[in-house]
Amino acid sequence: MKQLYLRSRSLRRFFSSPSSRRCAEENGSAASRRNSVEHEPEAKPVRKPTWRCFSYEEMHRATNGFHQDNLVGRGGYAEVYRGELDDGQVIAVKRLTRAVTDEQKEKDFLTELGTVGHVSHPNVTAFLGCCIDKDLHLIFEFSSLGSVSSNLHNANSSPMAWKLRYKTAVGTARGLHYLHKGCQRRIIHRDIKSSNILLSANFEPQISDFGLAKWLPSEWTHRAVAPIEGTFGCLAPEYFTHGIVDEKTDVFAFGVFILEIISGRKPVDGSHKSLLSWARPYLNDGTIQLLVDTRLGEDYDIDQLKRLTFIASLCIRANATWRPSMAEVLNLIEGGDMSSERWKMAEEEKEEEFWDLDDLDDCGTPTSSSSSMGS
């Protein structure tokens, strides 16, 4: 019997348990994996996992020996390869690479597995399984259309249509709301950005890359303090400066994401000017048409633009207390009341309503740690 990549006690314990042994069985179709997770009464048995364990031989064949031609993404934590299983299914194989020690690599692997193994939603990338032979791999459905970032910023293709941008905003809001409130334990993603939002064949957005995610008990209402990791330009001020993280950290990043899909500009451009610095004057004086990607011309819906810019302006507020929850964001994006009185801030807070990178003097720059699972 071949040697498995099982060095730490935590890995051995996890993969020797009866529930994990069942993951080697095929459990349902991709469609069933897409259904939202429902809270099961305590009296009912825990449902079987819908993912399975793959062999290294399967991964080696699928990726043509992890050939460089199949490498579609690389980040601080992992490399992602396109692969094709024997039955023709196209997959994304995430191979963990970052580790000071084997124990740390295994901890990172189990942390992400413990997150993605318990989520199921149309707007979250579908997890298919893992491989623990020789190295540590996570396997997902492959997103043939790539990421929102690659579609927005590809100079060699037509600009992403407004209706697709709006669809992306709505779907991402639904996915984030599910992570925050629809799971048995709430999940804080911590790295929401356009390159981590993948697009399915019908342009349905799917949140991916849970390498930085925190899985917290649903009854825990306190903020957590975490190492500052993520993507420069998308970090909430309380996280960037103090490492404080909660759901409002994701809300802030979602606001930046909204501005990016409206404008077609990256969170930080080549001149190191932040998207927030550029957008703030237009949000303040109401000239929101000037935020729209110039490549679109007049081909956008003004009512949808008003709704998206209103949502973005709430999400990027400096004080996390005054940002909406994703439940409130979802209500707004699906047609909820945009009354200014409903979202009016206290007078003493208005001077610091918005925050951006230019408000910092001498802060370090966190490095991105993500890798895309789309082409």
Query: Containing H/E element for 128?
Result: strand 127-131
* 53 strand-pairing partners: 130
Name the CATH topology of 148-359.
Transferase(Phosphotransferase); domain 1 (1.10.510)
pLDDT of residue 29: 41
**317-323, long-range: CB < 8 A, 24+ apart:** 317/345, 317/353, 317/354, 317/355, 318/237, 318/352, 318/353, 318/354, 318/355, 319/349, 319/352, 320/236, 320/238, 320/246, 320/248, 320/249, 320/251, 320/252, 322/349, 322/353, 323/248, 323/251, 323/252, 323/255
Closest by CA to 215, choosing from 233, 188, 234, 196, is 188
Residue 266 has pLDDT above 90, yes or no: yes
The full set of domain ranges for the chain reads 9-141, 148-359
Higher pLDDT, 326 or 361: 326
**108-113, long-range: CB < 8 A, 24+ apart:** 108/77, 108/211, 109/11, 109/136, 109/138, 110/10, 110/11, 110/14, 111/213, 111/215, 112/138, 112/210, 112/211, 112/213, 113/138
Which residue do the tokens 């809001």 mark? 173
Residue 56 carries which side chain, given as an amino acid letter? Answer: Y
pLDDT of residue 26: 41
Residue 33 has pLDDT above 80, yes or no: no
pLDDT of residue 218: 53
pLDDT of residue 75: 76
Those residues whose C-beta lies under 8 Å from the C-beta of residue 44, and which sit 6 or more positions away, are none
The reported pTM is 0.80
Concerning whether 133 is annotated as a catalytic residue, the answer is: no
Confidence bin at 291 (pLDDT 50/70/90): very high
CA distances, 72 to each of 125, 181, 200, 272, 284 (Å): 16, 31, 16, 26, 39
pLDDT of residue 133: 87
pLDDT of residue 272: 65
Residue 192 has pLDDT above 90, yes or no: yes
Given 3-state DSSP classes, what are the helix, strand and coil percentages for the chain, each rounded to the nearest 5? Answer: 40, 15, 45
Query: Containing H/E element for 248?
Result: helix 247-263
Question: Is 167 marked as a binding-site residue?
Answer: no
Largest CA distance in the chain: 69
What's the pLDDT tens digit per position in 37-91? 444 444 344 445 578 999 999 999 999 999 999 999 887 778 999 999 999 999 9
CA distances, 50 to each of 24, 211, 260, 352 (Å): 10, 20, 34, 46
Which of these is catalytic: 191, 209, 250, 356? 191
CATH class of domain segment(s) 9-141: alpha beta
What's the pLDDT tens digit per position in 349-359? 555 555 454 55
Confidence bin at 246 (pLDDT 50/70/90): confident
